[in-house]
Amino acid sequence: LYRRHFTDIVWIGRRTEESLITAKSIRFIPLTAGKLYRHFSLAAIISFLTIPVGLVQSWLILRRLRPRLIVSFGGYIALPVCLAAYSLGIPIITHEQGTRVGLANRIIGLLARRVAISWAPTRSAFPPRLTVLTGNLLRSAIVHRRTRSPIRRPLRHPLIYVTGGHQGSRVINQTLRQLLPQLTRRYVVVHQTGSADFNQFSALKLRHYSPFSWLDNEQVSWCFHHASLIISRAGANTVTELAFTG
């Protein structure tokens, strides 16, 4: 987008995304938005009550910014923004990354000018004349094999890359911690921990083990192209990139 001179970009999202987005010099606006749970609990009630807050915030943000286009990737954060955009006459493009269409994107798909899908079977969930099969976005560093090793020593053992995404995965991290003494006898382990757990893992002094809070695109590309095994959360983009790199 920058190369094509679309430089006035604003990201509306969860507060937890802010550091990642502002690090790329993109303007960030946090949004308080509730989601609909399929079970009854105190958290579900509180979340439901914040839905109107997200709608009002979204309307005020868009009224002030007056963007020419909304690009949505679905989810409970995108829904109030798209509802507000529709009421203000701002065009919407939404993208469905997965093979199962969530409730938010089913609703947004009725409001959007175009719906991009990643997998052909999801076409039936959206208006046919508005739907385009684009596939998922792949990072150019991975496609063009632009790599930079995050570790300084050469690989002398098979590599295991463990990642829980930007925020990390507590379940993956704690399970891995129990296995590290065994794994590092035979493998090099590169571990992207996320920011919350990084300090406890950086304190571990194990040979063949390298923890990182996060890795940039070229470092991730190196791990994808050199790993014998990857342990990861099943995010749509990650799964697509793993399929691409084999």
Of residues 39 and 102, the one with the higher pLDDT is 102
What are 81-115's pLDDT values in tens digits? 999 999 999 999 999 999 989 889 999 999 999 99
Predicted local confidence at residue 38, as pLDDT:
66
Predicted local confidence at residue 65, as pLDDT:
96
CA–CA distance from 230 to each of 160, 207, 217, 234 (Å)? 6, 19, 16, 11
CA–CA distance from 114 to each of 66, 94, 159, 226, 239 (Å)? 19, 7, 42, 38, 24
CA angle 200, 206, 210 (to 5 degrees): 70
Q: Assess whether pLDDT exceeds 80 at residue 41.
A: no
CA 184 – CA 181 distance, rounded (Å): 6
Q: Which two tokens stand for residue 180?
A: 């590290």
Listed as own residue / partner, the contacts of 99-102 with beta carbons closer than 8 Å and 24 or more positions apart are 101/125, 101/126, 102/74, 102/75
> Do residues 223 and 230 make contact, with C-beta atoms less than 8 angstroms apart?
yes
CA 154 – CA 24 distance, rounded (Å): 30
Predicted local confidence at residue 16, as pLDDT:
82
Predicted local confidence at residue 45, as pLDDT:
74
What are 7-32's pLDDT values in tens digits? 899 999 988 888 888 988 899 999 98
CA–CA distance from 143 to each of 24, 137, 199, 217 (Å)? 20, 10, 32, 11
CA–CA distance from 15 to each of 33, 36, 91, 164, 170 (Å)? 11, 19, 25, 18, 19
Which amino acid belongs to residue 94? Answer: T
- Single out the residue of 151, 222, 210 nearest to residue 176, CA to CA: 210
Predicted local confidence at residue 187, as pLDDT:
97
> Do residues 204 and 211 make contact, with C-beta atoms less than 8 angstroms apart?
yes
CA 114 – CA 191 distance, rounded (Å): 38
- The confidence band for 230, taking pLDDT boundaries of 50, 70 and 90, is very high
